[in-house]
Structure 1
Amino acid sequence: MKHNEGSIIYINGPVVKGTNMGHFKMREMVLVGEDKLIAEVIGLNGDVGTIQVYEETEGVSLGETIYGLETPLSLNLGPGLIGNIFDGIGRPLNKIAEMSGDFMPLGIGLLSLDFEKKWHVVMKVSVGDIVISGQIFAEVIETGLVTHKVMIPPGVEGVVTFAESTGDYTLKDILLKIQDKNEIITDVKMYQEWPVRKARPIGERMRISKPLITGQRVIDTFFPIAKGGTAAIPGGFGTGKTMTQHQLAKWSDADIIIYIGCGERGNEMTDVLEEFPKLIDPKSGKAIMERTVLIANTSNMPVAAREASIYTGITMAEYYRDMGYHVAIMADSTSRWAEALREISGRLEEMPAEEGYPAYLSYRLAEFYERAGYVTTLNGSEGSITIIGAVSPAGGDFSEPVTENTKRYVNAFLALDRKLAYARHYPAINWLTSYSGYIKMLSEWYSDNVADDAIEHRNKIMGLLQEESKLLDIVQLVGEDVLPDSQRLILEIARIVKTGILQQNAFHKDDSFVPLEKQYKMLKVVWHLYVRANECAEKDIPMSRLRDVELFEKIVKMKYNIPNDNLEGLKDLIAETDAYYDALLAQYN
C-alpha cells in the first residue's frame, strides 16, 4: 500500500506537517501514523508537506510514518449509492455501524460500495461494437425508482474485444474489455473511480430554459428556480431552512436528491437521518430514499471531512447527471462548510480576510456552484444539477461574508425572515428581500406550459406587495384611516395574497404540493378581485362595501377548499366576484 514515506514533525488538530515529503504530490491521499488515518496533502514546500486529516488526530505523535497512496481523494461511483448514507468522504455509515457499532473506529479505511453484492446486469453492447466515453453499455435496477445506467468511463473509447452476457455480477467483475487505436486494452467494470475535486466532463452546457417545479407557490410563481440553476436559502436560527429543503426534496420534480449535511448541529442531522427514510415519494408512493443519497456531517465531526463533504456530494450528482438524470443537491448549510475552511486556514496560519474567513472563500464557493448546470452529456442525453444551498448567517445578518459571497454566484435568493417564521408563516420566504434571476429565462416556458399571461400576473401581484410595503410605512406614522379607499384596498388584497397564496400548509393534502395550473388560476382570482373592487373604489363606493367578508374569506381559503384535481371552483369564485361587484355598481349607479 505504501509508495512514498514521510514522517510527522508537527501536529495541530486536523493539520499535520511532515518531512521527507519531496516525492509526494499536491492533493495526494495519504495514511497517517500507525492507525492509518485517511488524509490529503494540501501544501508542499520543498521537503516539508502539510496534510489535512479526515479523522481525529488524538494519539498521533511526532515521528510517525506518513504513507503515500499516489492518488487524489476519489470516490467509487456505481450501483449502491442511492438509498445509502455516507460521511463526508464517502464512507457508508450503515456498513460501518454493522462492523463496529455506534462509534466509528480510527483507521477503518476508505470504505465505499459493497463489492461483494451481486447485481443483475443487462448488457447493451457486444464484441465488435465501437464504444465512446460516457456511452451506456449496461443497465442495473438500483432501486424501485432508479435504473442505474452503467457507462464507459471518461477517456475510454475503442472496440469491444470482450463482453459478458446479461447476468448477475459484483462490482469487481470485468464486464468489458476495450481496445483503443493504440491497441491498449482497458478493463471496464460496473463502477468508476473519480477524484472529487475535479468536475466530470460534459458534452455541452445548454441554455437554462426549464423550471425546477417544487409545488411551493412562493417559489414556482414568484421566485422560480431553474433546472440546472443555483439557489440560496439564507436564514437565521429557527427560520425553516431545513424544513424548506425537506419540502423541495420531497416535492421537486428532480429524479435524484442528494442531501449534504455539511456541518449542522448533531440533533438537526439526526432529525434528517430519522425523517428522510420515513418520507414517501408522492409521485410513486415508494420511499423517498429510493431516489436519495444522504451525506451526513455534523459540527462535532472533523473539520476536514466537513470541508470535503460538498465535493463528495457534487461528484455523486455529476455521475447521475451523466446518465441523463436531473439531480437536485440540498447543501445544509454552506456556512458550516465555510467555518471548516476558516478553521483549517487558521491552523495553516494563513492571512485571514473578513471575519477571519480565508481570502479564497469566494473562489471556493464559485468552484462549487459552477458545477451546477443543464448539459448535454457525453452520450448525448440531457441531464442537470440544481444546487440549493442553505446559508446560516449568525443572527440572521445577511451582510456577513458567506451570504454576501453566495449572492454573487446564485441566481435565486430565497431569504427567510425571522418575523414570518415566528408568526407561523411558512415557507418564511420574505417576498421583498428575495429575488430570482430566472424569471426572464423561464418566461417562454411559463407562456407555453402555463398561460400566456402567467408572468404578467406574477408581476402585477408583486407590484401590489411592493406598494403595500410603502403604504405600511405611512400607516405606522398616521394610521390606516387617513388613506384613501383605493390604497386601503391594496392593503386588503395584499393580506389575501400573503395569507391565501404565499403561506402554505405542508401538512394539508391539497396545499402541500400545488400544481402550476392551480397556482396561476389562484393568482388570476386574486387579481380579478382587485380589478373589480378597484373599479368600485373609483366610483367612490366606501371601503366597508368593497370588502365583502364572506367573499374575501372564500378566496383566502380556496387553497384548501378547491382540490388540485378539480379547479372548476376557481371559475365559480370569479363568477361570484363579478356578481357581487356588478350588484354593488348597480346599487350605487
Structure 2
Amino acid sequence: MSSKGTIVKVSGPLVIAEGMRDANMFDVVRISEHKLIGEIIEMHGDKASIQVYEETAGLGPGEPVVSTGVPLSVELGPGLIENMFDGIQRPLEKMREIAGSNITRGIDVTALDRDKKWKFVPTAKKGQKVFGGDIIGTVQETVVVEHRIMVPHGVSGTIEEIKEGEFTVTDTVAVVKKDNGENVNIQMMQKWPVRVGRPYKEKLPPDTPLITGQRVIDTFFPVAKGGVAAVPGPFGSGKTVVQHQLAKWADAEIVVYIGCGERGNEMTDVLTEFPELKDPKTGESLMKRTVLIANTSDMPVAAREASIYTGITIAEYFRDMGYSVALMADSTSRWAEALREMSGRLEEMPGEEGYPAYLASRLAQFYERAGRVINLGSDGREGALTAIGAVSPPGGDLSEPVTQATLRIVKVFWGLDSSLAYRRHFPAINWLLSYSLYLDRLDKWANENVSKEWGTLRADAMRLLQEEAELEEIVRLVGVDALSAGDRLTLEAAKSIREDYLHQNAFHDVDTYTSLNKQFKMLHLIMNFYYLGKNAIEAGVSIKDLFEIPVRERIGRAKYTAEDQVDTAFPKIEAELKEQIEALISKEVDKNA
C-alpha cells in the first residue's frame, strides 16, 4: 500500500516528510518530480526520516514523497555476472548510455536487462514435487558460470508446467501448483530485500581453507571457506592490492567486489584490470565470474550503506546455488562514515568518536551473513560465502572504533604495516600483529591434504620470526657480533623466511600465485637450511662458511620456479643443500682429526 506525504525538511542526504503514517520502516520512497530514490530509516508519528540515495540539491519543503510500500530489494537472476552496478543495483553501463559519463538524478533503470533472452534448460519434470530452494533449470550465463534457477523461498508444490527455450528474466518458465490448489508462475528472476539474510538449512563449521595463493596468508594466517577476515591498514599500505590479489586468485567460484566509498581511480583500475586478467582455473577473463558494485567517494554518501547490503545479498544468492563465493568489501570504514553522517543528521546520541551506538551491531549483522551452509532444497547442496572487509583507520590507529568493532566479530586479522610498505615489503602483513583463529582446524586439513609436517613446519617458522624480533633488540644494543653462532643462524633463517618466503611480488607472472604444494616445499627448503645449519654449527662449522654455501642463492630464487617444475626442481635444491652442508661438516671433522 503506497503512502503519500510532503517534504518538511532537507538536510543533505536526509529528508523529513510528513503525512507518511501508512508507510513502514525501510520502505523505498520516490521523492519530488525527479523521482529520487530513498529509504525510510526512522518514523515519528506521521513523520518519516528518509535517507536519499541520490543528490538532494534543489529539493525543498512541500515537494511530494510517495512510498512504494516495498523494502529496498535486489533483482536476482541471469545478467548479474560481468555486470557493474552502483550501490542500489542500477547498472552503470546502462546509465551511461542514457545520461552520459556523469550520473544524473532520477534515472530509473532496471537492474537486469528485460529484453535479453537466456537459454533455459529445465532439470525438473512435470509432476515433480518441489520446495523453496530446489533447482528447476539452468542458464549458461557465461562460459564459466552456470546460473541455477531456483524455486523462490516460501513456494512449494507440484510442477504443473515447465518450459524449455529462450526467455527473458520476466517470462514464466514454470508453473507450480501449491498444496492449496493455487498456481504460482516461476520466472528466472526473483527479488529479495537487501537487509534480510537469505535462509538456509544448516550452518557448517568452517574447516576447509580458502586457498588464496598468497604465502603469508595461506601458511600463517589462513581464512576458512565461509569465514570472515579483516584487512586494516593505513593509507598506502596495500589494502586494495591485497583485496585485488584475493579476488584474482582465491579458489572461490564467484567473486563479488564492493568498492564502497573508494577513490574513483581505484575502481577504474579494477574495471580495466579484471577483464584483462586470465582466470588461472579456466583461462577465461576473471570478469566471467565477477560481479562489481561501485560506490565511489564522490557518489551520494547514503548509497554506501546500501552498497554493502546489495553486495552481500547477491553473494548469498550465488551461495544458495551451491557455489563458493568470495565477497570483498573495500572499505567498511567508508560505510561506517556514512552511518556516522546519517546518525548526526538524525540528531542521535553519538557514541565513541561520533559513530552511532549501533555501529558494532550493524557490522556484526553484515559479517554474520557469511558462512558455509547446507542450502535449502531437497538435494542438500553446500555453499560458502567468505567475507573479507578492508578497514581504513585514520592515521593507521587500530584502536579506533570501526577497527575494534570489526576485530570483535572477525576471526582473521591481517594487520597491514606502513613501515613494511615503506621498506617495499609486500604484502605488508605484519606477522607479529596478525592472527587467524581458524589455525587449529585448518592445520588439521593441511596435515591431511598437503603434508603431515605442515603444522610443525609452520609453528617452527613462526617461532623463528618471533625470536628474530627479540634478538633484534640485542643487536641494536651490542651489535650482531656479540651473538652466539646459534642466534646468528636464527637471524639468518628468519631473514630468509621474510625475504624469500613472505615477500611476494603481485606483478610477477610466477610469484603472484603459489600453490599449497609449492608453499610447503619452499618453507621446507628454508627450514631445512636452519635444521641442517644447527647440526653444522654443533659440529664446529663456522657461521661465515655456512652462510656462504652456493646453494643459498638457489633457495632465494626458488619462489620464481614455475608450478609445473616444482616437483623436479625442489628435490634437487634439497639434495644440493644436504650435500654442501655435509661437505662442510666432513671438512671440519677432517681438520680436527
When normalised by structure 1's length, the TM-score is: 0.98
Matching residue of 2:112? 113
Alpha-carbon distance in structure 1 between the residues aligned to 2:50 and 2:339? 14
Alpha-carbon distance in structure 1 between the residues aligned to 2:562 and 2:138? 43
SS in 2 for 1:567: helix
Alpha-carbon distance in structure 2 between the residues aligned to 1:568 and 1:355? 57
SS in 1 for 2:550: helix
Alpha-carbon distance in structure 2 between the residues aligned to 1:538 and 1:370? 53
Q: Does 2:478 correspond to 1:478?
A: yes
1:162-189 C-alpha deviation (Å, 9 max, x unpaired): 222x100111211122121222221110
Alpha-carbon distance in structure 1 between the residues aligned to 2:263 and 2:298? 8
User: Aligned letter for 1:293?
Assistant: V
- Give the superposition deviation at 1:561: 4.1
Question: CA contact under 8 A between 1:38 and 1:110: conserved in structure 2?
Answer: no
User: Aligned letter for 1:347?
Assistant: R
Matching residue of 2:278? 280
Q: Does 2:359 correspond to 1:345?
A: no
1:120-159 C-alpha deviation (Å, 9 max, x unpaired): 1001223322111100001001001101000000000001
1:461-486 C-alpha deviation (Å, 9 max, x unpaired): 00000000000011111211111111
Q: Does 2:34 correspond to 1:35?
A: yes
User: Aligned letter for 1:132?
Assistant: F
Q: Does 2:554 correspond to 1:554?
A: yes
Matching residue of 1:128? 127
Q: Does 2:158 correspond to 1:155?
A: no
Matching residue of 1:52? 51
SS in 2 for 1:67: strand
- Give the superposition deviation at 1:210: 0.7
Q: Give ranges in structure 1 of 5+ residues lacking alignment.
A: none
1:516-540 C-alpha deviation (Å, 9 max, x unpaired): 1111011111111101111222344
1:477-533 C-alpha deviation (Å, 9 max, x unpaired): 121111111101111111111111001122333211111111101111111110111
Matching residue of 1:370? 368
Q: Does 2:437 correspond to 1:424?
A: no
Alpha-carbon distance in structure 2 between the residues aligned to 1:566 and 1:551? 16
SS in 2 for 1:365: helix
- Give the superposition deviation at 1:549: 4.7
Alpha-carbon distance in structure 1 between the residues aligned to 2:511 and 2:395? 31
User: Aligned letter for 1:252?
Assistant: A
Alpha-carbon distance in structure 1 between the residues aligned to 2:99 and 2:122? 37
Mark the CA change 1:564 to 1:194 in structure 2 (over 3 Å): closer, same or farther: same
Moved more, 542-551 or 455-464: 542-551
Matching residue of 2:203? 205
Q: Give ranges in structure 2 of 5+ residues lacking alignment.
A: none
Mark the CA change 1:473 to 1:564 in structure 2 (over 3 Å): closer, same or farther: farther
SS in 2 for 1:57: coil
- Give the superposition deviation at 1:58: 0.7
The equivalences for 1:140-289 within 5 A come to: 140-164=139-163, 166-289=164-287
SS in 1 for 2:148: strand
Matching residue of 1:64? 63
Matching residue of 1:86? 85
Alpha-carbon distance in structure 2 between the residues aligned to 1:539 and 1:460? 22
Question: CA contact under 8 A between 1:130 and 1:158: conserved in structure 2?
Answer: yes
Alpha-carbon distance in structure 2 between the residues aligned to 1:558 and 1:12? 60
SS in 2 for 1:148: strand
Question: CA contact under 8 A between 1:375 and 1:383: conserved in structure 2?
Answer: yes
Question: CA contact under 8 A between 1:25 and 1:41: conserved in structure 2?
Answer: yes
Matching residue of 2:300? 302
SS in 2 for 1:253: coil
Alpha-carbon distance in structure 2 between the residues aligned to 1:360 and 1:56? 26
Alpha-carbon distance in structure 2 between the residues aligned to 1:430 and 1:553? 25
- Give the superposition deviation at 1:438: 1.0
Mark the CA change 1:183 to 1:565 in structure 2 (over 3 Å): closer, same or farther: farther
Alpha-carbon distance in structure 2 between the residues aligned to 1:393 and 1:273? 25
Mark the CA change 1:350 to 1:64 in structure 2 (over 3 Å): closer, same or farther: same
- Give the superposition deviation at 1:260: 0.1
Moved more, 147-156 or 348-357: 348-357
User: Aligned letter for 1:270?
Assistant: T
Alpha-carbon distance in structure 2 between the residues aligned to 1:377 and 1:240? 35
- Give the superposition deviation at 1:431: 0.8
Alpha-carbon distance in structure 2 between the residues aligned to 1:509 and 1:558? 14
Moved more, 467-476 or 540-549: 540-549
User: Aligned letter for 1:192?
Assistant: Q
Alpha-carbon distance in structure 2 between the residues aligned to 1:350 and 1:565? 61
User: Aligned letter for 1:534?
Assistant: K
Question: CA contact under 8 A between 2:233 and 2:416: conserved in structure 1?
Answer: yes
Mark the CA change 1:127 to 1:395 in structure 2 (over 3 Å): closer, same or farther: same
Q: Does 2:544 correspond to 1:544?
A: yes
Question: CA contact under 8 A between 2:540 and 2:588: conserved in structure 1?
Answer: no
Alpha-carbon distance in structure 2 between the residues aligned to 1:310 and 1:476? 47
Q: Does 2:153 correspond to 1:139?
A: no
% identity of equivalent residues = 52
Alpha-carbon distance in structure 1 between the residues aligned to 2:473 and 2:344? 45
Superposition misfits of 4+ residues, deviation over 6 angstroms: none
User: Aligned letter for 2:566?
Assistant: N
Q: Does 2:453 correspond to 1:442?
A: no
Question: CA contact under 8 A between 2:518 and 2:563: conserved in structure 1?
Answer: no
Matching residue of 1:456? 456
Question: CA contact under 8 A between 1:22 and 1:48: conserved in structure 2?
Answer: yes
Alpha-carbon distance in structure 2 between the residues aligned to 1:460 and 1:587? 29
SS in 2 for 1:264: coil
User: Aligned letter for 1:53?
Assistant: V
Question: CA contact under 8 A between 2:95 and 2:109: conserved in structure 1?
Answer: no
When normalised by structure 2's length, the TM-score is: 0.97
Alpha-carbon distance in structure 1 between the residues aligned to 2:563 and 2:443? 27
Alpha-carbon distance in structure 1 between the residues aligned to 2:404 and 2:188? 42
Matching residue of 1:524? 524
User: Aligned letter for 2:144?
Assistant: L
Moved more, 498-507 or 538-547: 538-547
Question: CA contact under 8 A between 2:274 and 2:287: conserved in structure 1?
Answer: yes
- Give the superposition deviation at 1:587: 2.1
Residues matched between the structures, number: 587
Question: CA contact under 8 A between 1:514 and 1:564: conserved in structure 2?
Answer: no
SS in 1 for 2:326: strand
Moved more, 240-249 or 176-185: 176-185
SS in 2 for 1:566: helix
Question: CA contact under 8 A between 1:510 and 1:564: conserved in structure 2?
Answer: no
Question: CA contact under 8 A between 2:2 and 2:23: conserved in structure 1?
Answer: no
Alpha-carbon distance in structure 1 between the residues aligned to 2:328 and 2:64? 38
SS in 1 for 2:170: coil
RMSD value, Cα: 1.3
Alpha-carbon distance in structure 2 between the residues aligned to 1:510 and 1:107? 47
1:195-221 C-alpha deviation (Å, 9 max, x unpaired): 000000101111111111111111111
- Give the superposition deviation at 1:575: 1.6
Matching residue of 1:15? 14
- Give the superposition deviation at 1:456: 1.1
- Give the superposition deviation at 1:376: 0.6
Q: Does 2:552 correspond to 1:535?
A: no
Alpha-carbon distance in structure 2 between the residues aligned to 1:377 and 1:179? 23
Alpha-carbon distance in structure 2 between the residues aligned to 1:172 and 1:381? 26
